[in-house]
């Protein structure tokens, strides 16, 4: 699955994965489809293609970045991994939420309560998301031109 896919393409890609379906839309006319008991959400833009994908911990899945499980890393370590790959400027750790505009990766709400694998002993981000230019533009509109946090 990747950004820019249509709903039908996303459904076909995820149908092969055990536990992905049934999908559940948030609201009747919502542009968000949910999979893996809502641990994977796909936001669709007005043209019907995926513009943002967000994940959070679900025991039957592993979401990885650079071979590392994003929900088995303390928040500062995960932040540092993404910061090292985003050349948009210096990035200082923010626990509440941060958007890396060069990679269009969003990290949300680091807290011990989200550390399912470490028995709530470390701050872990609740969600990790990736978007395309449409998502970045929407965030900039919301935040008055800024894409960070």
- Residue 80, number of CB atoms within 10 A of its CB: 13
When the pLDDT of each residue in the chain is averaged and rounded to a whole number, the result is 91
Each residue of 6-47: pLDDT tens digit? 999 998 999 888 888 756 666 656 789 988 888 999 999 999
pTM of the shown model: 0.89
Provide DSSP, 35-72: ETTTTEEEEE-TTSBEEEEEEE--TT---EETTEETTS
**Could you tell me which residues come within 8 angstroms of residue 23 by beta carbon, excluding any fewer than 6 positions away?**
11, 14, 33, 34, 35
Distance separating alpha carbons of residues 34 and 46, to the nearest angstrom: 17
pLDDT at res. 27: 61
For residues 21 and 47, the answer to whether their CB atoms sit within 8 Å is: no
pLDDT at 20: 84
Q: Is 81 within 8 Å of 66 (Cβ atoms)?
A: yes
Which tens digits make up the pLDDT trace of 103-134?
999 999 999 999 999 999 999 999 999 999 99
The two three-digit tokens of residue 129, written as one number: 């998301």
Is the C-alpha dihedral spanning 64, 68, 71, 74 positive or negative? negative
Mean pLDDT of 62-68: 94
């Amino acid at each position: 699955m990747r950004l820019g896919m249509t709903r039908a393409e996303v459904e076909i890609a995820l149908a092969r994965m055990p536990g992905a379906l049934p999908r559940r839309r948030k609201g009747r006319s919502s542009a968000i489809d949910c999979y893996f008991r809502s641990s994977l959400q796909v936001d669709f833009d007005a043209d019907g293609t995926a513009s943002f994908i967000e994940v959070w911990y679900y025991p039957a899945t592993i979401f990885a970045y650079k071979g590392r499980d994003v929900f088995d890393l303390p928040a500062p370590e995960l932040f540092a991994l993404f910061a090292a790959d985003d050349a948009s400027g210096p990035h200082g750790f923010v626990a509440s939420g941060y958007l890396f505009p060069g990679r269009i990766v969003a990290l949300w709400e680091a807290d011990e309560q989200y550390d399912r694998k470490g028995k709530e002993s470390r701050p872990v981000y609740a969600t990790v998301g990736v978007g395309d230019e449409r998502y970045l533009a929407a965030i900039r509109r919301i935040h008055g031109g800024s894409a960070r946090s």
